[in-house]
Amino acid sequence: MPDFQDCHSQLGSDFFVPVKPAEFPAAILRYRNQPAAASIGLDQLSDADFVEHFGHFKPMQGSYDSPLALCYHGHQFGVYNPELGDGRGFLLAQLREKETGRLLDLGTKGSGQTPFSRTADGRLTLKGAVREILATEMLTALGVPTSQTFSVIETGEQLSRNDEPSPARSAVLVRLSHSHIRIGSFQRLVALDKPAALVQLARHTMRHYYPHLDAEAAVPDLLADLLVNLTRSVAEMTAGWMVAGFVHGVLNTDNFNLTGESFDYGPWRFLPELDPAFTAAYFDQQGRYAYGRQPEAAFWALCRLADCFVRQAEEQALRDALADFTPTLEAAMTRRLFWRLGLRQPAATEASRLASEFLKQAEQSRVGFDGLFFWLYGGWRSHQDMPQAYQPFAELLHGCAPRQPAQPAFFAAEAPVSLTIDEVERVWAAIEPGDDWSELDRKLADIRALGAALAEPQAV
């Protein structure tokens, strides 16, 4: 049975606005994430139930009677914007994860206008929804903390967009994530000069998302503890992006949540090759959120959260919390790199040296990024069995032992699974205009096979 919660509504009306969902001319279920549904006790819902609850937004028994559009501000490309908030989405329900008891959110994207929409239509294109399915599945396979795409329902509207051929097909997406509270949620309270509400939100965050910490601690300790734990989580998430070759594209402060989980996928990309200057968003002309600058952007966002706390916490304690970012990031990148390579991590100094040299060679050689982890996985292939360009990497890593007792069959295939922009466009080209979803199904099957191979037991 699903274990519904109403935690966010307990904060009070200063933190959200009840909203009415849009009514759509059609509701065609295009995707349902059955494992995600099972994790929160909703796997017994029929396809018709999915349409009813996640396309027409009929409240589920125990969930919110009215969806909640959350309030927040944020820095967008370094410029503070007080006119944000959930402009095309809302919090639909909160539930406990069956296995862990974690509090999880069902939140929407493309569900209609809210008081925060300004001049936008509050809608989502079907292509945007398909792209989010692909991003979340690939990041999950590569072990990166991420929201899950829970459902996608095509809605029958024709949308006008500047960055896509118009009219574009429309959809509403529901994501399952571990909190929609953002750095920008705290920034808003500082901008409105509401220190008591900031402390209230910090205690709420600690109570529901960091239950191992003391939510009733004195305010200075509370805020410092929250910052140090989020700093470590964001560093881990950012390391995941870097080793996955993922470029988020829009790392504004409203796109960092308080649990360190990647979410809200807009103009993302995966690297074709290791290029620090590679950008995902066509409008990021200065490269602010380029692949190689993502750690800088993540740290900058954490500093803006520290700014929110500085009046009520000890400045040195906040500085100490932020100082954890770089060592945590570097250790996590090294650990994740060897994990994705299917190798046991050597001793710390040697592991750091090899990781640094590996990434340096990858940047200089510009070989295919996903190929690095495919051809070199576990060190099982001989030089004759891999493209010549990858052989210097095999020589660099030749002393490392495999982390699994045998080569997974997945890595004996002829080519890696990738999700570069060409692959994404190929999937979409089958859907539009032919309405052929088999390419998406095949790509998801390949991605999940990759995830299963990476998760196979380590050698004892």
Which residue out of 105, 225, 254, 264 is catalytically annotated?
254
Give CA torsion, residues 358, 364, 370, 372, to 10 deg: -40
Q: Are residues 339 and 260 in contact, defined by beta-carbon separation less than 8 angstroms?
A: no
Helix-, strand-, coil-residue percentages of the chain, each rounded to 5: 45, 15, 40
Give CA separation, 264 vs 19, 100, 110, 336, 365, in Å: 20, 24, 12, 23, 32
Whether 280 contacts 306, CB under 8 Å: no
Residues in the chain: 460
Is there a catalytic annotation at residue 254? yes
CA pair distance 337, 334, nearest whole angstrom: 5
320 burial class (0-12, 13-18, 19+ CB within 10 angstroms)?
middle
Burial grade of 103 (CB within 10 A; 0-12, 13-18, 19 or more): buried
Q: Considering only CA atoms, which of 266, 287, 267 is closest in space to residue 277?
A: 287
Contacts of 353 (CB under 8 A, 6+ apart): none
Instruction: Tell me the C-alpha distance between 75 and 81, whole Å.
Output: 6
281 and 250 in contact (C-beta within 8 Å)?
yes
Taking alpha carbons only, the member of 44, 26, 40 closest to residue 106 is: 40
Compute the distance between CA of residue 23 and CA of residue 8 in angstroms, rounded to an integer: 25
Instruction: Give Cα separations from 313 to 109, 307, 318, 320 (angstroms).
Output: 35, 10, 7, 12
Burial of 79 (0-12, 13-18, 19+ CB in 10 A): exposed
Residues forming the active site: 254
